[in-house]
């Protein structure tokens, strides 16, 4: 797993940017195909899925703690559109970003 430490650190640093699998693979000296297989073997998910999950996890924190708009939150975690962010968030979390924020706010007020 140490082979991927620099990759994981890099992903965290650039979540709000376009993260290309080819760039991640080049950090390890592996081809894209070998990198994708090795990453999935080490982390249980494909590199793209890992990046998506990290973006959603960061968005969940921002939605609970910040007061930015949903569109601003989407941009802060690397989604090019609010619509795509909403779709991926709902698919991953099971609710929309605004419903998640409302529920988190209500829970905090109790």
- Phi then psi for residue 45, to 5 deg, are -140, 155
User: pLDDT tens, 45-76?
Assistant: 999 999 999 999 999 999 999 889 999 999 99
- Residues 75 and 17 sit within 8 Å (Cβ to Cβ): no
- CATH code of the domain in which 97 resides: 1.10.10.60
Number of domains in the chain: 1
pTM of the model: 0.89
Predicted local distance difference test score (pLDDT) of residue 106 = 75
Structure tokens at 102: 């409302």
pLDDT of 11 higher than 90: yes
- Which residues constitute the domain of residue 55? 2-109
Cβ-based neighbour number of residue 97 at 10 Å: 24
Digit-coded pLDDT (tens) for 66-102: 889 999 999 999 999 999 999 999 999 999 999 999 9
Other C-beta atoms closer than 10 Å to the C-beta of 15 total: 17
């Amino acid at each position: 797993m140490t082979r991927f430490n620099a990759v994981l650190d890099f992903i965290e640093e650039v979540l709000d940017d376009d993260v290309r699998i080819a760039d991640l693979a080049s950090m390890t000296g592996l081809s894209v195909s070998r990198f994708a297989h090795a990453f999935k073997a080490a982390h249980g998910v494909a590199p793209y899925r890992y990046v998506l999950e990290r973006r959603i996890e960061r968005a969940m924190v921002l939605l609970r703690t910040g007061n930015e708009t949903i569109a601003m939150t989407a941009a802060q975690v690397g989604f090019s559109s609010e619509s795509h962010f909403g779709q991926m968030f709902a698919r991953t979390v099971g609710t929309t970003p605004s419903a998640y924020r409302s529920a988190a706010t209500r829970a905090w007020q109790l």
